[in-house]
Amino acid sequence: MLKRVALASVVCVASAGAAFASSHDMGENPSVGGAAMMADKTIVENASMAPNLSTLVAAVTAAGLGETLMGEGPFTVFAPTDDAFGMIDKATLDKLLLPENKAQLTQILTCHVVGAEAFSTDIAGMISDDGGMHVVPTLGGCKLEAYMEDGALKLKDENGRVATVTIADVDQSNGVVHVIDRVMLPAGQAG
């Protein structure tokens, strides 16, 4: 299960393009990095099509999670873009991709995956119901704080790092992807 979750995180990073304002009910799936995202394809299939999710796809491969995100789900994946991964020191990122660091990479990736399908309207409703901030438990054991700021959906990790959803509601056959502009890290990890 943890392996499946980590793969979902990496694949999600491959989706980027529509703003939080896009809605599942709008009918048209947002594109990510200029690539069409197909609602009848899995998270992994779509992510591998998005040119701005190549680092995520490489990380999913290094963690051995490819088959997981092709599974049934449903998953919600907060997918960091290549630019988000670029905010991490290159030497640190290269080290994470080594086989001996697979467990740590898997934990980081699964901190971007939720074991349920939640479109932006669902998340906004939970934030409202919880008085402006909703705790999002991930499959990797991280707890992200979701809130709205200036009309944008934000996520804060346990280290205080904040990501903005830049493309919301990318429908997948096994869940939904929300593209984010920063990598979320487990408590105590710097990046």
CATH number for the domain including 107? 2.30.180.10
Residue 114 to residue 12: CA distance in whole angstroms:
11
Give the pTM: 0.84
- Please name the amino acid found at residue 118: A
Continuous segment of H or E residues that includes residue 43: helix 43-47
Q: Can you give the residue range of the structural domain that contains 73?
A: 2-118+166-180
Domain-located, residue 151: no
| Inter-residue contact 182 to 163 (CB < 8 Å) | yes
Domain-located, residue 128: no
Give the pair of three-digit tokens for residue 109: 């990736």
Q: What is the largest CA-CA distance in the chain?
A: 44
Domain-located, residue 87: yes
Domain-located, residue 157: no
Domain-located, residue 127: no
State the pLDDT at residue 190.
64
Number of structural domains found in the chain: 1
Continuous segment of H or E residues that includes residue 90: helix 90-96
Domain-located, residue 50: yes
Domain-located, residue 134: no
Domain-located, residue 79: yes
Residue 151 phi/psi, 5° resolution? 80, 5
pLDDT in tens, the chain (191 residues): 333 333 333 333 323 223 333 344 456 899 999 999 999 999 999 999 999 999 999 998 888 888 887 888 899 999 999 999 999 989 999 999 999 999 999 999 999 999 999 999 999 999 999 999 999 999 999 999 999 999 999 999 999 999 999 999 999 999 999 999 999 999 877 65
Angle, CA of 80, 166 and 182, to the nearest 5°: 35
